[in-house]
Amino acid sequence: METTLIILKPDAVQRGLMGRIISRFEEKGLQIVGCKLMRISQELAATHYEAHKTKPFYPGLVRFMTSSPVLVMAVRGIGAITICRNMMGATFGSKAAPGTIRGDFGVSNSYNLIHGSDSPEAAERELGLFFRAGEVIEIDRAVEQWVYDFGSGKPE
């Protein structure tokens, strides 16, 4: 099982898309194991996006991410990082395929609705930035046997 960070950005929150996007992850069979609505501080945004600090879009990105509340989620499942990123679609809504979150809800080349960790290392780092100890929980779900095939003794 992997746990990844998903952020529904200010445009998703302001447009009232939180429920529809959360539903997509749950309908896919992924677990929401942590969730909170928050305003990202300048300091947290700077830390989260420090890899982009020298890029020309950085100031606008930090301004955007701190402009309005976001919904941060810890999403868990086998291969959750790749699955979530595939569900998100290409970075820009204008280029994202229909059926993806960005493809169905986005047209902007700067407002792109959602962030997802891009690797296990990034997920661990990012989850640690947004969730304190105990805020990401373990949930035993009876439905797991219907999400994953356990016929071989391990979930597939």
This prediction has a pTM of 0.94
Indicate the residue type of 52: H
Residue 115 a catalytic site member: yes
> What is the mean pLDDT of the segment spanning 5-13?
98
Class of domain 2-35+69-133: alpha beta
DSSP per residue, 44-56: HHHHHTGGGTTST
Question: Which residues make Cβ contacts (< 8 Å) with residue 45, sequence separation at least 6?
Answer: 61, 62, 65, 66
Domain residue limits, the chain: 2-35+69-133
As given in the structure block, the two tokens for residue 153 are 């003794």
CA–CA dist 121, 119 (Å, integer): 5
Report helix, strand and coil shares of the chain as percent, to nearest 5.
40, 15, 45
Task: Please write down the long-range contacts of 103-106, taking CB distance under 8 Å and 24 or more positions apart.
Answer: 105/12, 105/15, 105/17, 105/20, 105/21, 106/11
Degrees to nearest 5, angle at CA 11 with 58 and 113? 75
Backbone angles phi, psi at 77, to 5 degrees: 170, 170
**How many percent of the chain have pLDDT more than 90?**
88
Distance of CA 112 to the CA centre of its chain: 12
pLDDT tens digit string along 71-86?
A: 999 999 999 999 999 9
Going by the DSSP 8-state scheme, the letter that residue 99 receives in this structure is T
Given 115, 130, 131, 136, the catalytic residue: 115
Question: Which residues make Cβ contacts (< 8 Å) with residue 108, sequence separation at least 6?
Answer: 11, 92, 93, 94
pLDDT tens digit string along 85-142?
A: 999 999 999 999 999 999 999 999 889 999 999 999 999 999 999 999 999 999 988 8
